[in-house]
Chains A and B, each alone.
Chain A
């Protein structure tokens, strides 16, 4: 499938930045930096969450519709299989909408009392974009997952 939105020269810089952060995760393939991701704000958010850690792709399950007719309310759920014991549990899951004016959507924090690292809610998406979830485990590991959502009518007002 040919992408209409191949990176323009300016976007190569953004892509290099993105690759710097996400290469370890293999999250971004060479052609996967959509030009519409104008703001680099989301990269700052990802950096802040990860610090020096390298996230592992997979295990973390992020479910969102492929096509959202209304960007004002896009259901999502995110979960990670974990024993949720004192020594081995998911501490937090972060949701980042790469093309929203405010990319940080939510941070969910769990405790062993949560029993299960799973949460569902509804997000606003300004337009078609990648949504990233990052899970932070009690042993310092990070898992990452990404979904592309096509938005017919954007959220966030204007």
Chain B
């Protein structure tokens, strides 16, 4: 599974609302296309994305085939204090990509 790209601010203050940007390489095969022999290509997408901070839910996304390949997501978090963010992408079939990033709180 590919390594996702995550962009956090270098430092943040407690109470500040920060923007978090994520990008992961994925074909997001819609299930609508056919191969050269006319056989349908099965759907294979990242169907869910979730973000937790110190174990608490920040943001989740349920994605469908209408989300572009290499799904990009930008969202926000109000910084409660220092801690670690956990990002989880789950694709059809249940494989998951998990990444953790520490947030530097000034």
Binding site for B on A (CB under 8 A): 72-74, 77, 84, 95, 97, 100-116, 118-125, 155-158
In the bound complex, residues from chain A placing their C-beta under 8 Å from that of B30 are 101-102, 124, 156-157
Q: Which residue of A lies closest to B63 (CB)?
A: A106
Question: Taking the nearest CB of chain A, how far is it from the CB of B48, in angstroms?
Answer: 10
Q: Select one of B67, B76, B80 contacting A122, CB under 8 A.
A: B67
Best-buried of A112, A115, A124 by chain B (most CB within 10 Å)? A115
A-binding residues in B (CB < 8 A): 17-18, 30, 32-34, 53, 56-69, 71-78, 80
Query: Is there contact, CB below 8 Å, between A109 and B33?
Result: no
Complexed CA–CA distance, A108 and B61 (Å):
4
* A157 with B32: CB separation less than 8 A: yes
Task: List the count of A-B residue pairs having beta carbons below 8 Å apart.
Answer: 111
From A72, A74, A110, A120, contact of B59 by CB (8 A): A110
Which one of A105, A109, A111, A114 contacts B67 once the chains associate, using CB atoms below 8 Å?
A105
Q: Are B68 and A73 in contact (CB under 8 A)?
A: yes
Whether A109 and B61, one on each chain, are in contact in the complex, defined by CB atoms closer than 8 angstroms, is yes
A114 touches B75 (CB 8 A): yes
Considering the complex, give the chain B residue whose CB is closest to the CB of A108. Answer: B61
Contact partner of A108 (CB less than 8 A), chosen from B60, B69, B71, B78, is: B60
